[in-house]
Structure 1
Amino acid sequence: MTTTIPAPTGALVPQRRLNLISVVLVLGVFTTLLDATIVNIAIDHLHTVFNASVARTQWVATAYLLLYVAVIPVSGWASERFGARNVWAFAVAAFLVGSALCASASSLPMLIAFRALQGTGGGMLIPLSFSMLTRAAGPERIGKAMIAIALPAQLAPVLGSVLGGLILQYWSWQWMFLVNVPVCIAALTLVRFLPAVPGRPGDRLDVLGLILLTPGVIALAYGVSEAAGANGFAAVSAWLPLLIGTVLIAAFVRHSLASRRKPLIDVRLFARRSFGLSSIITFMAGFSTYALTLLLPLFYQQLRGESVLTTGLLLIPQGAGTTLFFLLARPLVAKLDGRLVVAGGIALTMIGILPFTFADLHGGELLLLAGQLLQGIGFGAATYPVMTLAFGSLSHEETPSGSAAFSVVQRVGAPFGVAVIAVILQNHLKTAHTPSQVLSGFADAFWWTFGLGTIPLALAFLIPRKHNQVRKEDTVLDANELGPAAE
């Protein structure tokens, strides 16, 4: 017996309206991604401001991360229950209030608490934006629409480094949060242009799924953040939460498959070739492309002694490469085999890593900047088709749950891969006593990043040849594989 999953449909909007929707959504997405980068590079500065240890100050980033991932699983249900536009506006408002309160914090505990409030809003914005944009665009325009989120996601870390450096050098730390206020106000002013889809009061919350999945995701995120510390994954504070999180996630998977009611997140989506493969590639990218967001700033600051501002400026070619792809190369590669585009993007990123594996303590700046330009182009080429593949295969009804599921993979996978590379680097730096030994440690970390990139590179060739084949291959599944909910 088979069941047919309907092709993605929805209340499509005219192109001009879609462009306006994209602008509004990107205001919310961009400010959350930008703020995360700005704050992360300011941890060392904040521990001096509040006269606290680095370990305690790190909770400014950790509290945001934990609440960020905690609300992702429930975002799909909330958008269906209360209406996506209403929940999106609530998320922006929570981020706005959290930002203003962070700027007014007079102690470290206050700042940590207000960052948690920020995370509550920020965590909902990306999956909700994915969902609303996918539904408004429809399958034929999903590729172009995804640029609105894909490009800011790649540019925010680079621009955040520059803006963070400028703020810390010329203004007070409070402006790291105050810069969010006008952007959030603009987003709330324009929220009326987003599609007004009414909520469904009859939608019941999957309480058991929430009890299992949310603590599981939080435990994984916390374990990953602790793994980036001195003892790596060997620390009890790292492996114990990771173990607990894995058990809870496994229990949720079993619950989701057995549930006859609509689960919090339908894990059956991962069994679909397009969505599952996109999720795996996104997760594995944390070990390669996302790991560079850790290595490059450390390379310039710790090894070459550059300031935070100079480091941000040196990272501009990476963002320029991504912009170059979306503005110039994307229209050309849109007609190519998706497998070759993704594989080519990953290969370019790997080639861009090579100059750093052979770098010296001084010199070679032009080669390093050229390598970062290639990395940026590769980021765009690898990210854009994968996101299109994942969301282009979702039906109108599956979009909220699918957006939340993909966001969980992205927000857990990226930090996990970064933590693995951080542990590799730290193990080398522990025994490094000379600049040349530190250089060797960085080179080894870059080689690991290069080598781990071969995994998503190989997976890229499993991507369906064309996006129209994606929908054809995903429409018919065996009901026995789907479980009771499909019957």
Structure 2
Amino acid sequence: MLDMTSTATAAQAAAPVTDRRLTLISLVLALGVFTTLLDTTIVNIALDHLQGVFHASVARTQWVTTAYLLAFVSVIPVSGWLSERFGARNAWLFAMGAFLVGSALCGLADSLPQLIAFRAVQGIGGGMVMPITLTIVTRTAGPERIHKATAAVMLPGLLGPILGSVLGGAILESLSWHWLFLINVPVCVVALVLGRILLPSTAAQRGHRLDIRGLLLLTPGVVALAYGIGEISGKDGFAAVGAWLPLAIGAVLLAAFTVHSLRARRPALVDVRMFTRRSFGLGSAITFAGGFSTYALSFLLPLFYLQVRGETLLHTGLLLIPQGLGAMFYVVGVRDFAARIDSRFVIAAGAVLTMIGTVPFALADSHGGTAVLLAAQFAQGLGFAATTFPVMTLAFSNLSHDEAPRGSAAFSVVQRVGAPFGVAIVAVILQNLLDGATTAADRLSAFSETFWWIFGLSAIPLLLAFLVSPDKRTEPAEPTDPAR
């Protein structure tokens, strides 16, 4: 009787919801994505300020970011199991609650060790938000509406890092640094209240056991990779023991996990067989490659404005807004049209736009031409969105209801490892070029050459786009049911 009841509940949870309900669900999930990604950028911009506040070294202060990152990636592998074991809605509410508690504690911290410890608590919640969000979206929207749902959820995620620069600069100039974290509290409270009301309830699989062996292989492997990637951008790059040793350990552990996953009858964390599917595998590969282009640009542009152009933090944040506007324009004005075009061409066009948007920065001087640079950032944002949304639709369109939690965890691991890896490589390139820079002209030349590297690396997603299945995705007909 228990099995029959669970099956019936699961089937009910998997039933499609109306378009209006799907929109409300997407907006609630977007709040969680927005606040977790917003917080990352706000804190990155404030590291120099925090170093002065706590009279600490750069290495010690950097742990404010590192502790969050390591906690963030450590919980991604287990997020799929939590969704299945306790229900996706309950898992999402727990993740947002943990992020809320961590944010409040960070805002109340009065020493650097406290702040670092509380950032780890914050990272535990933040790391689970995205994969669980993707699980709920995939299950609720279904293949025919997933492109709409992911657009609604991911747009705030694209805007969060850009707005974070503006808010971070404004807070540091007018308020205490504590508000860098306390600003999350009201957003999290609203998300928790609305999530409790609007998110669909799903059945918990009480007999679903945690894959302990897989957890002991995958989680330390991902954490080791994340830590090693963070150390690549240091003075010695890959040659540093703190970089290559964690990377080697992480690679060995992930290889062992892959063997374990292939042998297991039903992997409870991440099923690596999903990567053999053309849609999921290519979607993951393009996402990983995006770390060398779109994510690297998000890292490099603020440094360009601060170090080459001499802009303030707040002015730099304002100058980055056109990138977010480009992404918004895709969702509002282009997405419906793009949904009717072969996804290969949409993804390829996004990569080309990113490349075009990189050229003016590679040719820029230390002053003037601001209008051209702002237009270039708009093209970058449009290209980023044109690549991101179709790729996510591609990756998740063929996942079944039961595969969604493990598929979301797998995709999130690729995203959270690929993005910082690409950024770290670009950071090494820039640092090597800056090492010999003694004048402003030398610094400008170093940034120019790095932008040309990004231009070339942006061709990787462009080439991968043409390996995508040529099947066209057509916009589904709008339902005629008046209840919708």
TM-score, normalization by structure 2: 0.94
Which segment is superposed worse, 147-156 or 362-371? Answer: 147-156
2:340 touches 2:472 (CA, 8 Å); kept in 1?
A: no
1:159 corresponds in structure 2 to 163
Write the distance in 1 (CA, Å) between the matches of 2:22 and 2:132.
Answer: 15
Please say if 1:356 is aligned against 2:361: yes
> 1:389 touches 1:467 (CA, 8 Å); kept in 2?
no
Structure 1 CA distance for aligned equivalents of residues 157 and 391 of structure 2: 14
SS in 2 for 1:362: coil
Q: CA deviation at 1:465?
A: 2.0
SS of equivalent to 2:294: coil
Residue 426 (structure 1) aligns with = 431
The code of the aligned residue for 1:218 comes to: V
Quote how far apart the aligned CAs of 1:468 are. Answer: 5.7
Tell me the equivalent position of 1:101. Answer: 105
Counterpart in 2 of 1:199? 204
Are residue 84 (structure 1) and residue 88 (structure 2) matched? yes
Q: Mapping of 1:11-410 within 5 angstroms? A: 11-192=15-196, 193-410=198-415
Gaps of 5+ in 2: 1-12, 475-484
Deviations 1:277-333 (A, max 9, x none): 000000001001100011100000011111110000000111111111110011121
CA distance 1:286–1:450, shift in 2 (3 Å): same
> Which amino acid is 2:113 matched to?
P
Contact 2:209-2:268 at 8 Å conserved across structures:
no
Alignment partner, residue 477 of structure 2: none
**Cα separation, 2, equivalents of 1:468 and 1:428:** 44
CA-based RMSD of the aligned residues comes to 1.1
1:190: Cα distance to partner? 1.1
Alignment of 1:434-445 (within 5 A): 434-445=439-450
Q: CA deviation at 1:179?
A: 0.6
Superposition deviation, residue 260 in structure 1: 2.1
For the residue of structure 2 that corresponds to 1:286, the secondary structure is helix
Please report how far the alpha carbon of residue 387 of structure 1 lies from its aligned counterpart in structure 2 after TM superposition.
0.5
What is the distance in 2 between the residues matched to 1:143 and 1:260? 31
Q: Is the 8 A contact 1:59 1:112 kept in 2?
A: yes
Q: Distance in 2 between matches of 1:141 and 1:459?
A: 24
The letter of the residue matching 1:358 is L
Residue 42 of structure 2 contacts residue 164 of structure 2 at CA under 8 Å; is this kept in 1? yes
Q: In 1, distance between residues paired with 2:407 and 2:437?
A: 45
Q: Distance in 2 between matches of 1:198 and 1:264?
A: 18
Contact 1:341 1:385 in 2 (8 A): yes
Alignment partners' CA distance in 1, 2:89 and 2:359: 45
Separation in structure 2 between the aligned mates of residue 446 and residue 262 of structure 1, nearest angstrom = 41
Which moved further from structure 2: 32-41 or 144-153?
Answer: 144-153
Structure 1 CA distance, aligned partners of 2:287 and 2:73? 16
Which range moved further: 442-451 or 12-21?
12-21
Q: Post-superposition shift, 1:188?
A: 1.0
Give, in angstroms, the shift of residue 245 of structure 1: 0.3
Measured in 2, the distance between the counterparts of 1:433 and 1:296 equals 21
Structure 2: distance between partners of 1:466 and 1:63? 43
Counterpart for residue 482 of structure 2: none
Q: What amino acid is aligned across from residue 83 of structure 1 in structure 2?
A: G
How many Å apart are 1:15 and its aligned residue? 1.1
Distance in 1 of aligned mates of 2:461 and 2:236? 28
| Deviation sequence 1:46-83 (CA, Å, 0-9, x none) | 00000001111000000000000000000001110011
Alignment match, 1:6: none
For 1:432 and 1:92, the matched residues in 2 are separated by: 45
Aligned residues: 461
Question: Would you say the 8 A contact 2:214–2:269 is kept in 1?
Answer: yes
Distance 1:62 1:167 in 2: 22
Letter of the 1:217 counterpart = V
CA distance in 2, matches of 1:388, 1:331: 13
AA aligned to 1:232 is: G
CA distance in 1, matches of 2:36, 2:238: 28
TM-score (norm 1): 0.93
Q: CA deviation at 1:467?
A: 5.5
- Distance in 1 between the 2:88 and 2:385 partners? 28
Q: Which runs of 5+ in 1 are unaligned?
A: 1-8, 470-487
Deviations 1:193-236 (A, max 9, x none): 11111211100100000000000000000001111222212111
Q: Which letter does structure 2 place at the counterpart of 1:325?
A: Y
- 1:457 paired with 2:455, answer no
Aligned to 1:484: none
Any idea what the Cα deviations from partners look like across 1:379-428, whole Å, max 9, x if unmatched?
Answer: 11111100000011111111000000000000000000000000000001
Question: What is the alpha-carbon distance in structure 1 between the residues aligned to residue 199 and residue 253 of structure 2?
Answer: 36
Letter in 2 for 1:315: L
Once structures 1 and 2 are overlaid, which stretch shifts more, 325-334 or 417-426?
325-334
Q: Percent identity?
A: 64
AA paired with 1:106?
D
CA contact (8 A) 2:103 2:122 kept: yes
**Amino acid of the structure 2 residue aligned with 1:424:** I
What corresponds to 1:411 in structure 2? 416
Task: State the 1:11 CA deviation.
Answer: 2.2
Give me the whole-angstrom Cα distance separating, in 2, the residues matched to 1:22 and 1:307. 35
Give the letter for the 1:53 counterpart: S
Any idea what SS the aligned residue of 1:356 has?
helix
Find the aligned partners of 2:18 and 2:205 in 1 and give their Cα distance. 25
